[in-house]
Amino acid sequence: MEELSEHRTPNAVKSWIAHPPAWLEVRPDPPLDPTLALLDPGERAAIALAQSLNAGRLLIDDWDGRAEAQRRRLLVTGTLGILAKAHQHQLVDFEAALARLIQTNFYVSAQLIDLMRRRLSTGT
């Protein structure tokens, strides 16, 4: 919630988190896990919370965080994975959503975009 409220966050996101939907449950950060100390605070909290909840999947984009979550046997997906799945279910147009995402402060590599496009074109 803190990251979504930062000054560099797009206004639409700050507005959304300031008035979250009823289904959103915000939980306090779990106790600090010293084995996650090299990660950013958001990734540390997300991984620790996912472990404590036995979460079925963790949404995380940071590469170091993803690698650590996978080492801990957590299933992970990223923002592009969510957009691709939504596209497959005809909920969004992947290219239109990607274009909007790129206009924000979200970083995504050209290689990852190419990989997701290939997966969508082959249906995998």
Residues 73 and 83 in one domain: no
Residue 63 has pLDDT above 80, yes or no: yes
Predicted confidence (pLDDT) at residue 64 exceeds the cutoff of 80:
yes
Distance CA 107, CA 101 (A): 9
In the 8-state DSSP scheme, what is residue 55? -
User: 20 and 33 share a domain?
Assistant: yes
Both 8 and 35 in one domain: the answer is yes
Q: What sign for the dihedral angle of Cα 61, 65, 67, 70?
A: negative
Q: Are residues 69 and 87 in the same domain?
A: no
Residue 90: CB atoms within 10 A of its CB come to 7
pLDDT at residue 106, as a whole number:
86
Question: What's this model's pTM, rounded to 2 decimal places?
Answer: 0.82
Same-domain pairing of 8 and 62: yes
Task: Please tell me whether residues 7 and 53 are part of one structural domain.
Answer: yes
Which one, of 70, 92, 81, 73, lies nearest residue 116 by Cα? Answer: 81
Segment 8-56, tens digit of pLDDT? 888 888 999 999 999 999 998 889 899 999 999 999 999 999 999 999 9
Handedness of CA 100, 105, 110, 112 (dihedral sign): negative
- Regarding whether 83 and 27 lie in a shared domain, the answer is no
pLDDT attached to residue 66: 96
